[in-house]
Amino acid sequence: MMPRRRFLQAGVGASVGARAVASSTSGTAVSAVAAAGWLPARSRAARPAAPRVVVIGGGFAGATAAKYLRQWSQQRVEVILVEPNARFVSCPLSNLVLAGAQHLSGLTLGYDELVRRHGVSWLRERATRIDPEQRRVLLSGGTELSYDRLIVAPGVDFVWSELPGMSRPGAQDSVLHAWKAGAQTTVLRRQLEAMPDGGVYAISIPPLPYRCPPGPYERACLVADYLRLAKPRSKVLILDANEDVTSKAALFKQAWAERYPGLIEYRPGHRVVDVDAAQRTAKLDFHADVAADVLNVIAPMRAGDIALGCGLATTADRRWCEVDFLSFESSAVERVHVLGDALLAAPAMPKSAHMANQHGKACAAAVLALLDGQPVNPLPLYNNTCYSFVGAQEAMHVASVHRYDASRRTMLTVPGSGGLSAAPSALEAGQAWSWARQIWADTLA
């Protein structure tokens, strides 16, 4: 079996000209042509000035792109990372905080290595506007940055207009989403600790697409794991806007039946359309209102604010960004590339941390080729893996491989690739931690 670090690199190839073998954690192997391993010969001609790439967003996609732009260009490209947060907090594994099995500090990392080791310039500011005609980014402090190429990795924001009650004063302070790991994660844990034995924790799941499809079901399991021991008369209620579990359905349902009988209740086709935060009540479209002691509402999602504000969100509902999957260049704005969860995903391509990391590498290779006037890789191929905990000590995974289809101009799943756990296990929990440490290092170190 391939070590996890090489699995992270295989889909886009950390070595120039690599032909990689990507392996899922279940042992299923597929031959893969590296997406960023196919780097054209780079011109050695002298430049009057180093080309500048500005990267907006320091998550898994943006930080990875910034790192590999510097590394693969042998630091001949100036890279400026615009990220207002002082620290990177990992969403993967953050549900363990809710179970009391992990502290948020253990999931928090810095950007220091990107600066010290790779020479990325990091500005702790927020990008507020993009001027594609002048190729400039305006920052919250008033600074303007020029760019030769711009990478936008803004993550997701929420469509609060679909839940009018959440816009009332104080509503979002008491009814939490905790879908961006950080302060809300810690507060939601405190709410669970304060909940009486016999109380109800209710989580609402928005319609697809949303960030991390299995994440809400994992969260339900980990909250149930905590309540089973600390407050055994309590209940976990899953209000799912989708008609079925969107990822690892059979495995999650088996876990609910075998590990948490009578504790977890799953209600598919239950879409929350409004919230009364004062009464901790979810209002549903075709079903009775649901009151809970702890109400955890994950609102419908869209691309991050900066993407909407500069015309990068091009789908009919103006929520997601469309790109050329060979280069990640926006279909609407030249020289601007969009990565990660903000994208209109290709078929069966999840909005996951692993996939965002793959996007970052593939885009870095494409941008370097474009800066030199070279063609980009015509056959990119990415891998993905995603672990989910069903209890504090046991996890399961799903893995897949995706390659470019020129006739459809999108990424398609490679038939027979990847794999799925036969059952959750303690062994896979250890592998999940190994995967996390390695993708953190691959992104930030």
Reported as a single tens digit per residue, the pLDDT across 341-383 is: 999 989 999 999 999 999 999 999 999 999 999 999 999 999 9
Percentage with pLDDT > 90 across the chain = 87
Beta-carbon contacts of 275 under 8 Å, excluding residues fewer than 6 positions away, are 163, 165, 166, 171, 175, 281, 282, 283, 295, 297
pLDDT in tens, 210-266: 999 999 999 999 999 999 999 999 999 999 999 999 999 999 999 999 999 999 999
Q: What is the largest CA-CA distance in the chain?
A: 71
By three-state DSSP, how is residue 252 classified? helix
In the prediction, which pLDDT does 31 show?
A: 22
| pTM (2 d.p.) | 0.90
User: Is 330 within 8 Å of 337 (Cβ atoms)?
Assistant: yes
Average pLDDT score over residue span 327-332: 97
- The pLDDT value recorded for residue 8 is 47
Tokens 């953190």, residue located: 440
| pLDDT the model gives residue 25 | 30
Mean pLDDT of 403-414: 95
Range of the domain at 205: 160-299
Domain end position, chosen among 253, 283, 299: 299
- CB contact at 8 A, 190 and 294: no
Percent pLDDT > 70 in the chain is: 89
At 192, is the pLDDT very low, low, confident or very high (cuts 50, 70, 90)?
A: very high
Residue 17 pLDDT greater than 90, yes or no = no
256/139 same-domain check: no
Nearest to 203 by CA among 292, 137, 124, 134: 292
- State the pLDDT confidence band at 434, using cuts at 50, 70 and 90: very high
Same domain, 276 and 202: yes
User: Which residues are 199's β-sheet partners?
Assistant: none
User: Over 60: is that where the pLDDT of 14 sits?
Assistant: no
* Residue 246 neighbours by CB under 8 Å, 6+ apart: 205, 208, 213, 214
Mean pLDDT of 421-437: 98
Give me the pLDDT at residue 23, please.
28
Position 177, amino acid: H
- Co-location of 238 and 344 in the same domain: no
Claim to verify: residue 273 and residue 320 sit in the same structural domain: no
Q: How many domains does the chain have?
A: 2
Q: What is the mean pLDDT of the chain?
A: 90
State whether 199 and 127 are in the same domain. Answer: no
189: domain CATH number is 3.50.50.60
- Mean of the pLDDT values across residues 64-92? 97
| One domain for residues 181 and 51 | no
- pLDDT over 50 (residue 24): no
The encoded tokens of residue 223 equal 């909250």
Q: What angle do CA 273, 279, 283 make, to 5 degrees?
A: 15
The domain boundary residue, chosen from 280, 299, 318: 299
For residues 320 and 9, what is the distance between their CA atoms, to the nearest angstrom?
Answer: 27
Residue 134 CA to residue 112 CA, distance in Å, equals: 31
Indicate whether 329 pLDDT > 60: yes
Given the structure tokens 């990372």, which residue do they identify? 81
* pLDDT (mean) for 393-422: 95
Both 357 and 400 in one domain: the answer is yes
CA dist list (Å): 139 to 54, 128, 142, 163: 12, 5, 5, 30
What number of other Cβ atoms are within 10 A of residue 348's Cβ?
11
Residues 353 and 284 in one domain: no
Q: 344-353, pLDDT tens digit by residue?
A: 989 999 999 9
**Same domain assignment for residues 165 and 149:** no
CA 164 and chain centroid, separation: 26
Q: Which two tokens stand for residue 51?
A: 């080309």
Whether 69 and 152 share a structural domain = yes
H or E element in which residue 259 lies: helix 249-259
| pLDDT for residue 11 | 47
Average pLDDT over residues 276-299: 97
Instruction: Please determine, for residue 44, whether its predicted confidence score (pLDDT) is greater than 50.
Output: no
110, 151, 256 from 127: Cα distances, Å: 20, 12, 43
Whether 153 and 21 map to the same domain: the answer is: yes
Residue scoring higher pLDDT (316 or 7): 316
Q: Are residues 270 and 310 in the same domain?
A: no
Domain boundary among 299, 325, 350: 299
| Closest by CA position to 362, among listed 14, 20, 130, 26 | 14
What pLDDT score does 309 carry? 86
Q: What is the residue type of 12?
A: V
Q: Quick one: pLDDT band at residue 292, thresholds 50, 70, 90?
A: very high
Cα-flanking dihedrals φ and ψ of residue 172, to 5°? -75, -5
